[in-house]
Structure 1
Amino acid sequence: MHFSLFSFLSSDIAIDLGTANTLVYVKGKGILVNEPSIVAIRRNDQEIVAFGSEARAMLGRTPDEISTIRPLRDGVIADFELAEEMIHYFIRRVQASRLLRPLVVIGIPSGITEVEKRAVRDSAEHAGAREVYLVDEPMAAAIGVGLPITEPVGSMIIDIGGGTTEIAVIALSGIVTSISIRVAGDEMNEAIVQYMKRKYNLLIGEKSAEQIKYEIGSTPPYNEKMTMTVKGRDLVGGIPKTVEISLPEIQEALAEPVDAIVEAVKLTLEKTPPELAADILDRGIILTGGGALLKGLDLRLREETNLPVNLADDPLTCVAQGTGKILEDLDSYSEILNRTKRY
């Protein structure tokens, strides 16, 4: 499948190309890059000013001539050229040798089209990969968590990222049932922005919404006395304004995206073959991804499905760890890899 000399000289890498964050795993070294998937460019000449954390620090604070762009939306590439530049930048950061091009394994949402898959592969190839393998994110997350994906038992995984929520039932190295919805962390942020506009006439940025979600974002039955001070711009007076919000208010703001995720989980369970459903009843559901950290989400899913729901140990890195395990042992995982066709 790949020459050992190539592997020895070049740093083969695995990438979790996420809407919110990009993680890069280097063979034999682990995760070396964990940065936001954001690029800052100068408008007049389209020159790139910053990537990753540096670009995120500029979010909502840039002068007119600089704009911050997220090359991925809803788990897929929205800006091909910038995605390519971003992948190239991250590959260059971890590459030991510039002479040999690395082999790259990339995690992709399970619900994307062939065209969207080809866009990911082409971006990686143009960014300097010698060979590109794609793997479905729920499968990578399951491997990262350590689920027995090759055995004839059903494992259910819910991966809530920035752009997509992936729900899959896995058995015998394949995805038996899966649903991928474009409701996840970004939708939750947007729901908070809209709620603040509607209730307080307060305009807040995406970064502030993310902070609110992180600090007091939750879903019933979670119930703690928590409040937070939010600063933004008054839509009526146009001047800066501060308001205090409580935990139940943010629960109300997040009700719609959380309900959509719960419904998708129920729908996946309805489509699951009875033998595998029995396995899930015994083994439970594993939650991964940044959205899984939403307070009370595991309890809510437990109430709605009557199944055991467990949060992965390190939900933010499960997909990257899984793609890394695949990279370390490509031959064992060859049947789950996805070589998109060249046209």
Structure 2
Amino acid sequence: MLQTIQIGIDLGTANTLVYSSSKGIILNEPTVVAIDKKSGTIIAFGHEAKKMIGKTPQSIEIVRPLKEGVIADFDRTTELLKLIMQKAGKKLGTGLRKPTVAICTPSGATSVERRAIEDAAKQSGAKEVYLVEEPVAAAIGSDLPVHEPVASMIVDIGGGTTEVGIISFGGVVASNTTKAAGDHMNEAIILHVRKEYNVLIGEPTAEDIKHTIGHGLVPHEAEQMTVTGRDVVTGLPKSIQLSSTEIQEVLRESLETILETIRATLEVCPPELSGDIVDHGVVLTGGGALLKQIGDWLSTVIDVPVHIAPEPLHAVVIGTGKTVMPKFNRVRVAK
């Protein structure tokens, strides 16, 4: 029998995750769709579409409908959400009719951008939609005391944006957002390889380089990685060897921008809460939290303890899903 259930959705630039309080994370798909140019229909989404990046004929277009944390293509986002919710219903095995949905939004999103996210969710079949600010969701998902009069500082390094927030009493006291995040790092790696080696590589390869030999800005034992791309001059495949120290320099600009965003947020933190941050530190979430030694580097430069969340990739969606529970009602973003 079909029944209404409650789910949380982390509609991210890079990945979309769905959380159910009864079954935990039930879906984790890249926020990517493959479109047939002739008919305009979506022929694949998620992992299936991501595998097609850089490998499709001219009749198929690969689209990422979200950019920098907000909707860039409303129609495609709505279609993607419908497919995501249908797949989530099958995973739950109960059917998914008019669910109550909590969905996270960047703290710097405008009222128009928030309305677009809410409308997309409703057009995808949601009965009720609650919007939750991303830093709050990340804090809840990291098991921080968001309802207490204690400052919890979150740095969520996602695909499209890095969100920095200080939370107390269930709300955001201070926050800042920067576009220096996972996608920005990937673009820097692609540009570097082209400029220094005359070799073109795609986004998946850049992502792999970042995960394998990317490091925070601290000394480390150099690592090597061989990658293959297309020679700009000859057009033929070419393999090159990259070192972790050179990639570290490539990532420097993005990492220093993230650092400045953290400092800017700390500067506007009320003095009464600053002591809590010194005592309890900063918590990193998002895919960027998995960059090697990023916690060690940040703790050195801001002189505050830095911790990686227990589940950095899942913290936002877990927190978003929990906000549909009665005890978390206070942290919902007002419509």
> Where in structure 2 are the equivalents of 1:62-73 lying within 5 Å?
62-73=56-67
Indicate conservation of the 8 Å contact 1:222/1:296, yes or no.
no
- Cα deviation 1:153-198 (Å, max 9, x = unaligned): 1111100000010001111111111001122100000010011111
Q: Counterpart in 2 of 1:140? A: 137
CA contact (8 A) 1:26 1:94 kept: no
Superimposed CA distance per residue, residues 201-257 of structure 1 (whole angstroms, 9 cap, x where no aligned partner): 111101110010111111221412210001111112222111001001101111111
Instruction: Find the partner of 1:293 among 285, 290, 293.
Output: 290
Counterparts of 1:123 and 1:176 in 2: how far apart (Å)? 28
Deviation (angstroms), 1:11: 2.5
Query: In 1, distance between residues paired with 2:24 and 2:219?
Result: 35
Equivalence for 2:39: 45
Residues 73 and 175 of structure 1, relative CA distance in 2, 3 Å threshold: same
**Could you tell me how far apart the structure 2 residues matched to 1:174 and 1:99 are?**
31
Q: Determine if contact 2:228/2:240 at 8 Å carries over to the other structure.
A: yes
Partner SS, residue 62 of structure 1: coil
**Matched-pair identity in %:** 49
- 1:167: which partner in 2? 164
Partner of 1:326: 323
Separation (CA, whole Å) in 1 of partners of 2:142 and 2:25: 15
Please tell me whether residue 309 in structure 1 is matched to residue 303 in structure 2.
Answer: no
Distance of 2:271 and 2:150 partners within structure 1:
12
Shift of the 333–229 alpha-carbon distance from structure 1 to 2, 3 Å rule, reads same
CA contact 1:11–1:27 (8 Å) conserved in 2: no
Query: 1:100, 1:89 → 2: CA distance?
Result: 13
Q: Which AA in structure 2 matches 1:126? A: Q
What CA distance in whole angstroms lies between the structure 2 residues aligned with 1:212 and 1:99?
Answer: 39
Secondary structure of 2:314 counterpart: helix
The number of equivalent residue pairs is 332
Counterpart residue number, 1:338? 333
Can you give the 5+ residue segments of structure 2 that lack an aligned partner in the other structure?
Answer: none
User: Any idea what SS the aligned residue of 1:54 has?
Assistant: helix
For the aligned residue pairs, the C-alpha RMSD in angstroms reads 1.4
**Structure 1 position 9, deviation (Å):** 2.1
Q: Supply the AA of the counterpart residue of 2:166.
A: V
Which of residues 78, 88, 91 in structure 2 aligns to 1:94?
88
Residues in 2 aligned to 1:48 and 1:100: alpha-carbon distance in whole angstroms:
22
For 1:150 and 1:15, the matched residues in 2 are separated by: 22
* Secondary structure, counterpart of 1:89 in structure 2: helix
Residue 217 of structure 2 contacts residue 252 of structure 2 at CA under 8 Å; is this kept in 1? no
Partner of 1:59, secondary structure, is: coil
What TM-score, normalized by structure 2, do the two folds share? 0.96
Q: Which runs of 4+ in 1 moved over 4 A?
A: 96-99
Shift of 1:109: 0.7
Deviation at 1:300, TM superposition (A): 1.3
In the aligned structure 1, how far is the partner of 2:212 from the partner of 2:317?
25
Q: Deviations over 1:65-107 (max 9, x none)?
A: 1111111110001111111011111111122555731110001
**What is the CA–CA distance in structure 2 between the aligned matches of 1:224 and 1:314, rounded to whole Å?**
27
Which whole-Å CA distance do the structure 1 matches of 2:184 and 2:96 have between them? 42
Which of 12, 19, 22 is residue 18 of structure 1 equivalent to? 12
